[in-house]
Every structure is written in structure tokens, then in C-alpha cells.
Amino acid sequence: MPHQQLTIAASDGDCPAHVFTPAGGGGGPAVIMYMDAGGIRPGALGMAERLAEAGHVVLLPDPFYRYGPYGPFDPVEVFKGDFRAILGPLMATTGNARAAADTAALLAYLDTRSDVVGGKVGAVGFCMGAGMAIAAAGTVPDRFAAVASFHGGNLATDRPDSPHTYAPQLQAEVYVAAADNDNSYSPEMAARFEAALDAAGVAYRAEVYDGAAHGWMMPDFPVYDEAAAERGWREMRALFGRTLG
């Protein structure tokens, strides 16, 4: 699968990024992938490659570029110890508002590529990245056709850049896949998030993956659930296929 490493001049400096394209030299509609707190690592690259196999030009920016060099982390090893002590300093350098501020630069890069089909893009986010994907789509709403959120946490809080506050600007179709018994996304928070989408008239579908733990989509996580992950991939491909062509 064609793979390119590059640097994008983002809002706060140079952002390392990866691009995966469909095999055979073809192009396709673009999707921006926002990763979890584990950052860029072999597992994340594999997920971007898999999405490219479905016919997309996939842009994977590094959410921790403001921090500087790190890792790559092995989530299994990280979760054996105090993962907050390890990942907390990196997470402190980013967030929904900062990711939103980088959106124009990411889109400007995609606009330079002749293999990107169409003017609309998709976004998918995992865990921490789910809120970033929603914030990005709400910041430049006319460019995003679809957003997928997988086991996203803190989607409706009292923070000024809470993902639910971007709902009035969203023009994208949204798919929300929640983990069962997720402390970072309680039923009460889900109700608040969905109420914001309803009030804004956003087209969306929200599902709870019964029995799946927070992080179930990540193949290098201890809680990876293959059956639930395959369901998630089917939903993701269907969403982008329907909205991006």
C-alpha cells in the first residue's frame, strides 16, 4: 500500500503526518484520521492503511506534534503501568480546539494532491481523536461530508471546546459508536451529546456496542475486540462510501 511521510505547516509548528493511498496508484476521496492518546505507532499506521485499502486517501496527522518526539508506544506495555503519567504530558499539548485550529492546514495539504477525488472529506476519530474529528468538522463544516466517532470520550462536557458545542455548525453526517460501560462516555453524557445533535438538526446515528470496552477498535490494545471492531469497520466503510462516493 503506497505510504508517504511528510510534514505539514500547522497552526503551532510542523506537524508530522502519514498519507496512505489505494493500491495500484489510484486515488479516492480523502479521510483524515485522528488517533487516540497512544499517538502514531505501528497499530495506527495499520489502521490508516486498512482504510486506504477501502479506496481512500488517508491523512494521519500526529496529534502530539506540539510536544515533540516521543515513542512509539506499545499500548500493552503502557497500560501495565501508570498510563496517565506516560501519556498525560503529551495529551496536555493538544485538545479539540487545537486540533480544530489545524484543520485549515490539513485541508490545504489535501487540496494539493491530484489523487484526492472530490472536494468533500471524511473524518474518523478514536478515543481522544473522536472529539478532534467532530471539532474539525464543525470548524470547516462545508468541507466535511461525514464524521465517525469510535469509543470517543468526553463528547459533552462543560469545557469551552467540548465536541457537543460544535454541533450547530456541523453539516456532516455523524456516526457515533460508544463502548459499553465507558467511564469517559456515560449514558448521561451520551444523552447530552445526542440532544445537541438533535437540536442542531444533524443527521446522525448513535449505537452502543454491548460488551465492548473503551478502545475496542484498536488492534494493539489489550481490550481489542475483533468482532466488534469488524462491525465498526463495516459501519465506517458504509458511511464514507455513502457520503463520499
Q: Are 155 and 164 contacting, i.e. CB atoms less than 8 angstroms apart?
A: yes
Q: Are 7 and 17 contacting, i.e. CB atoms less than 8 angstroms apart?
A: yes
Rg (CA), the chain: 16
Q: What is the pLDDT of residues 47-69, one digit of tens each?
A: 999 999 999 999 999 999 999 99
Distance CA 122, CA 145 (A): 6
pTM beyond 0.95: the answer is yes
3-state secondary structure the chain: CCEEEEEEEECCEEEEEEEECCHHHCCEEEEEEECCCCCCCHHHHHHHHHHHHCCCEEEEECCCCCCCCCCCCCHHHHCCCCHHHHHHHHHCCCCHHHHHHCHHHHHHHHHCCCCEEEEEEEEEEECHHHHHHHHHHHHCHHHEEEEEEECCCCCCCCCCCCHHHHHHHCCCEEEEEEECCCCCCCHHHHHHHHHHHHHHCCCEEEEEECCCCCCCCCCCCCCCCHHHHHHHHHHHHHHHHHHHC
Q: What is the pLDDT of residues 10-44, one digit of tens each?
A: 999 999 999 999 998 789 999 999 999 999 999 99
- Residue 160 main-chain phi, psi, to 5 deg: -65, -25
Residue range(s) defining the domain that contains residue 47: 3-244
Q: In the prediction, which pLDDT does 81 show?
A: 85
Residue type, 141: P
Q: In the prediction, which pLDDT does 83 show?
A: 83
Domain count, the chain: 1
Q: Are 191 and 214 contacting, i.e. CB atoms less than 8 angstroms apart?
A: no
Q: What is the CATH number of the domain that holds 50?
A: 3.40.50.1820
Mean pLDDT of 77-106: 94
Q: In the prediction, which pLDDT does 25 show?
A: 78
Is pLDDT of 92 > 80?
Answer: yes
| C-alpha cell of residue 62 | 500526529
Number of Cβ within 10 Å of residue 29's Cβ equals: 21
Q: What percent of the chain has pLDDT above 90?
A: 94
Residue type, 172: A
Q: In the prediction, which pLDDT does 90 show?
A: 93
Q: In the prediction, which pLDDT does 148 show?
A: 99
